[in-house]
Chain A
């Protein structure tokens, strides 16, 4: 994985000193609260419902054991012994004190981490496929691209006061595991007819109160033009994006209002004026970054791992976990394991400091010292030998981290909701917990198969409900929490926004409604047809009666 050189290290240290100085100038009155606000946000410091919240960047979700141990320490020393992984693969601490933040930033700098631009109207943490470097269908590892963009977007002089936040995701595979079409810019690495590598550039995706699927504005951008083209896109957005209404300020609204074609022509016009070679990173720099993501020193192993097969035959719990939580590895004899942070009854994405240390130890011992955080709020050990899997699983069981539900109905995404967030209009975590408890039975989950439920506690949609196979949106209706259910959303390359089933339901009716939706699916599904396919085939009609029944049922 990427390591800081002397320049990166100095940059991050200077940034910490700069924030200390900004805090001091706020305290002596030089900066007004209003002026200080964007400065603290761009260092990841939010003012939340109960306290400050600190959001730490985990670029493209990649972490070393040493970094995760440092997060465990920060969680213990400055929070309440746990942290929370977000849908943008960052880590949030919900209880730090403002005066401790500069010290926390120093602790992060010690392990080559920061909070730069994890909030504010600027380019945010760049995300990528969590199976980068592992997936067999990969054309090129997206992480060197993401790292190049991370550096380029850090403290960009021109693009730090954009109309609104700006999120970029990169995928290197045909399968989109990075939800690229729901980002302000989605980049897909591909190969053209001549065999050259470049990017499909998609712009204007996003969730929030106006969900939009990104439109392709360039089908093939040569690799060398990346930063120049990004500069052109951001310049057009900075100049033309709306600033009269916060809710219409994202680039998706601009693209929608002027049309993708007009937007593309403005970008191309600006791009044509730019002197590429004076902006782009030179090939040596691109190669320098890429070298950090070279494959680890894999052993040559047979495709079949006898110890692994034997353990599965002997232990049913392990066999279940292995069949649900493993992802096929492109290297024979290896596997990637997704560690679910969705234990029934827990808040999705929460992890204790103790668990962080267990994961760090496992990564160090078995996975070339590396972990990945997924946008689905889980953790991946990317480079496991299949013959080590049983040992890994036993350690996970001991740490309460062995839930075998990755991709299943209880592997929900949920935002922090009204329990933590000052924007929320309803609770999300308790809804997730109630639904998870209803479907706790392991075999039943497996019988239902792949099904993503995503829950947001307000229309800002941090829980990605629009692209959930089943989406749940918590709103406030005349002083009461009310939950709208959507169906048919999809976060992959077939990205789709879910459609509403009907009016909102009371919190206590949500688990029943989900149960009924699943029953309709099971009744109609063709053999081995996943939930989303059945919904696409039969449409929403058969499901709509469920909401009507719930609304009219006698209390």
Chain B
């Protein structure tokens, strides 16, 4: 499935192998298999996990330092739970790759990035209907918003900076 990040199309170096039986160097396993995949990872290959948006942060916490990628499923664009899970993971200090996986729409790209996602894994049909150029454009349609702690650009800090320079 097509993958994009804030710069546009991206090669997918990860192989989804739900039960972890693949020999690939970078594999994404299901949440049910993450424990055994990490335990059996003698040769230092990279392990990622794909989770439903009902998995709780506490269930992931024991593995965070060892997992290089967390893919969060979006069953539908209208189901925003994945945004909160991503934000919680970043708040908990998770520094690996965060991937949103599912039929998001271009207008959610900025939100996904602000909540801490790095990349979006789109179904083929979705990517065909909404070319990546639309995603890149949509990501910058609002240059600054009001929430602090969601990405670098926000109006409250810009006002504070303007106050500091006496403007």
Contacts and interface: CB of A to CB of B under 8 A. Distances in A.
B147 A152 contact: yes
18 contacts: A7-B158, A7-B159, A17-B141, A18-B141, A156-B145, A156-B147, A157-B110, A157-B112, A157-B115, A157-B151, A158-B83, A158-B84, A160-B111, A161-B78, A161-B111, A273-B91, A282-B156, A285-B160
B79 A7 contact: no
Interface string B133-167: 01001100111111111110001101110010000
A328 B3 CA distance: 63
Which residue among B83, B91, B111 has the maximum number of chain A CB atoms within 10 Å of its CB? B83
Interface residues of A, number: 47
Interface stretch (A29-37, A251-259, A374-382, A454-462): A29-37
Interface of A: 5, 7-8, 10-11, 14-15, 17-18, 21-22, 25, 29-32, 35, 38-39, 121, 151-152, 154-162, 227, 235, 238-239, 243, 273-275, 278-282, 284-285, 288
A288 B81 CA distance: 34
B26 interface: no
Closest A-B pairs by Cβ, 5 of them: A161-B80, A157-B114, A157-B111, A151-B146, A7-B155
Interface of B: 77-81, 83-85, 87-88, 91-92, 105-108, 110-112, 114-115, 129-131, 134, 137-138, 141-151, 155-156, 158-160, 163
Contact of A161 (B83, B129, B131, B150): B83
A284 B160 contact: yes
B143 A14 contact: yes
Contacts of B114: 157-158
Contact of B142 (A11, A30, A162, A280): A11
B155 A11 contact: yes
A483 B115 CA distance: 47
A30 B112 CA distance: 19
B145 A158 contact: no
A275 B141 CA distance: 29
Contacts of B138: 18, 21
Contact of A158 (B87, B105, B130, B155): B87
A158 B146 contact: no
A279 B149 contact: yes
A460 to B, nearest CB: 19
B149 A278 contact: yes
Contact of B85 (A38, A239, A285): A239
A8 B155 CA distance: 8
A472 to B, nearest CB: 34
A465 B146 CA distance: 36
Given A5-B159, A161-B80, A238-B81, A29 B129 contact: yes
Contacts of B88: 235
Given A151-B155, A157-B110, A235 B142 contact: no
B115 to A, nearest CB: 5
Contact of A154 (B81, B87, B129, B146): B146
A161 B146 contact: no
B91 A39 contact: no
A238 B105 contact: no
Given A22-B107, A274-B91, A157 B83 contact: yes
Given A281-B156, A285-B156, A158 B150 contact: yes
Contact of B143 (A10, A29, A158): A10
User: Which of B84, B130, B151 lies at the interface centre, i.e. has the most chain A CB atoms within 10 A of its CB?
Assistant: B84
A162 B78 CA distance: 8
Contacts of B145: 11, 154-157
Contact of A235 (B84, B141, B149): B84
B44 to A, nearest CB: 32
Contacts of B83: 157-159, 161, 238
Nearest to B80: A161
A31 B105 CA distance: 8
A8 B156 CA distance: 11
Contacts of B151: 157
Given A5-B159, A278-B149, A285-B159, A158 B80 contact: yes
A158 to B, nearest CB: 5
A30 B149 contact: no
B105 A35 contact: yes
B137 to A, nearest CB: 8
B141 A30 contact: no
A25 B159 contact: no
A157 B111 CA distance: 4
B141 to A, nearest CB: 4
A32 to B, nearest CB: 8
Nearest to A30: B130
B142 A18 contact: yes
Nearest to B148: A279
Contacts of A227: 148
A274 B148 CA distance: 12
Given A10-B143, A239-B85, A273-B91, A161 B79 contact: yes
A21 B105 CA distance: 14
Nearest to A10: B143
B116 to A, nearest CB: 10
A11 B144 contact: yes
B78 A282 contact: no
B64 to A, nearest CB: 14
Contacts of B141: 14, 17-18, 21
A161 B78 CA distance: 6
B82 to A, nearest CB: 9
A30 B150 contact: no
A239 B84 contact: yes
A30 B134 contact: yes
B138 to A, nearest CB: 8
Contacts of A11: 142, 144-146, 155
Contacts of A39: 107
Nearest to A156: B147
Contacts of A15: 142
Contacts of B155: 7-8, 11, 151
A543 B17 CA distance: 69
Contact of B144 (A7, A161, A284, A285): A7
A154 B110 CA distance: 14
A338 B142 CA distance: 39
